Amino acid sequence: MPISPILIVDDDTIFLDTVTSTLRLRLPDVHMETVDSALAALERIRSMEYTAIICDAHQPRLEGIGFVRAVRKVHSEWPVLLLLEKYHEDLIRQAMDAGAYDVLVKPVEEGALLFAVQRAIEVSRLRNQVKREGAQLVETVRGMMRDLEVLYGADGLQVHFEAFMARVDAERQALSTTSKPPSNSSD
C-alpha cells in the first residue's frame, strides 16, 4: 500500500505531537507533516500533495472555515477534517457548507479520529482511482475513434469526439467555479 501523506495543522504543539504519535502508531502507512498555522499550511499545499488534512478550526489570522474554503479552491478533492474546540451546531453546518469532509470536536476520541482519517484516506484513494480510470477510458475511446475513421473511412469522428470532450471539460470547469463544494461528509 502506498504511503499516504497527511497534513496536520494546529498551533498547539502538544496536540500536534499527540495526534502525530497516535496516527504514526496506529496507521503505519501514513506519513504525517505538521504546521503550526493555517497560513503556513496554505503555502505547503501549493507545493505538496496530501491525502487528507486535519486542521484545528481556531487558528490565528485564518479561521478553520476560511481555511477549508481556501483548500477547496486549490484542491477541491482533498478531504479536510476540521477540529472544533466545542460542539457548536452552527459552526459545524458552516464548516460542512464550506466543504469540510468531516468535523470532530476536541477532545477527539482516538477511535473516532482514526476512523475519520481512515475514511478520508480511502476517499482520496477512490477519487484518484476514478480520475485515473476516467482518463484511461477517454484515451480508449479516442483510440477507437481513430480506428473507426481508418476502418470505415468515417472522417470527422475524432474531431467530433474532441469537440464533445472540450464541451465536457468546459462544463466541468463552469460547475467547479460556480457551485459550492458538496456538504456531505458521507463520501
Q: What's the whole-number mean pLDDT along residues 164-186?
A: 69
Give 93-109 pLDDT, tens digit per residue. 999 999 999 999 988 89
Q: Where are the domains of the chain?
A: 4-126, 131-178
Residue 155 and residue 158: Cα distance in Å, rounded? Answer: 8
Helices and strands in the chain: count of H runs, count of E runs: 6, 5
Q: How far apart are CA 123 and CA 161, in angstroms?
A: 31
pLDDT tens string 15-59? 899 999 989 899 888 889 999 988 899 999 988 889 999 999 988
Mean pLDDT of 111-129: 92
Q: Model-level pTM?
A: 0.75
Of the candidates 47, 46, 118, the residue with the CA atom closest to the CA atom of residue 81: 118
Q: Is the pLDDT of residue 186 over 50?
A: no
Per-residue pLDDT band for 179 (boundaries 50, 70, 90) equals low
CA distance 91 to 111: 23
CA nearest 36: which of 1, 71, 61, 72? 61
CATH number among 3.60.15.10, 3.30.70.3270, 3.20.20.70, 3.40.50.2300, domain 4-126: 3.40.50.2300
Residue bearing the bigger pLDDT, 182 or 63: 63
Query: How many angstroms separate the most distant Cα atoms in the chain?
Result: 69
